[in-house]
């Protein structure tokens, strides 16, 4: 029933605080400053999405077009409230972004995922399957080299080229 009441839209700066609260409720996501979330909701509104049910924020994806590869959408964070998990909301939100005019030239999706984040791996494997696209992965940020051992290695996941007619 919750899935039917969820509205997807571009975020606004006024959503920044609610996004911060949502991300705090979604471990193992790294929390950002509230200011960062305000920027995500305003500067990247065309490539991010907020999901609301009864005026409550239940999902958020931040993304942006890579400056050096304008055919690539980078998904920064995917947050889904516990009440909305298992409904396919994350997949719907990504598809919602891809269908926007700002993503007309997007043929690839990239993100980073730690090896132990099974839910994110499953999500992006489904995205690749839905778009009939291959998924590749390689180390982007190494635990020792980039995080001094304080964070797990972030794997760069690349999906594409997307067959947008498939989804």
Residue 112's closest CA among 50, 38, 29?
A: 29
1: confidence class by pLDDT, cuts 50, 70, 90: very low
Output the pLDDT for position 166. 74
Q: According to the model, what pLDDT value does residue 33 have?
A: 94
- pTM of the complete model: 0.94
Tens-place pLDDT, residues 12-27: 999 999 999 999 999 8
148 phi-psi bin (left φ>0, alpha ψ -120 to 50, beta other): left
Q: How far is CA 134 from the centre of its chain?
A: 18
Reported as a single tens digit per residue, the pLDDT across 48-105 is 999 999 999 999 999 999 999 999 999 999 999 999 999 999 999 999 999 999 999 9
Distance (Å) of CA 106 to CA 31, 100, 102, 139:
27, 10, 8, 23
């Amino acid at each position: 029933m919750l899935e039917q009441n969820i509205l997807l839209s571009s975020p606004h700066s006024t959503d920044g605080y609610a996004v911060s609260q949502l991300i705090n409720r979604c471990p193992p996501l790294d929390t950002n400053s509230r200011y960062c979330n305000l920027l995500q909701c305003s500067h990247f509104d065309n490539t991010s999405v907020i999901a609301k049910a009864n005026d409550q924020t239940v999902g958020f994806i931040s993304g942006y077009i890579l400056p050096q590869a304008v055919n690539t959408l980078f998904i920064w964070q995917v947050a889904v409230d516990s009440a909305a998990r298992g409904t396919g909301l994350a997949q719907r939100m990504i598809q919602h972004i891809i269908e926007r005019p700002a993503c007309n030239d997007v043929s690839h999706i990239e993100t980073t995922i730690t090896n132990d984040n099974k839910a994110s791996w499953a999500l992006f494997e489904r995205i690749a399957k839905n778009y009939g696209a291959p998924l590749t992965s390689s180390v982007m940020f190494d635990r020792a080299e980039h995080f001094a051992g304080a964070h797990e290695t972030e794997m760069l996941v690349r999906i594409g080229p997307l067959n947008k007619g498939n989804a």
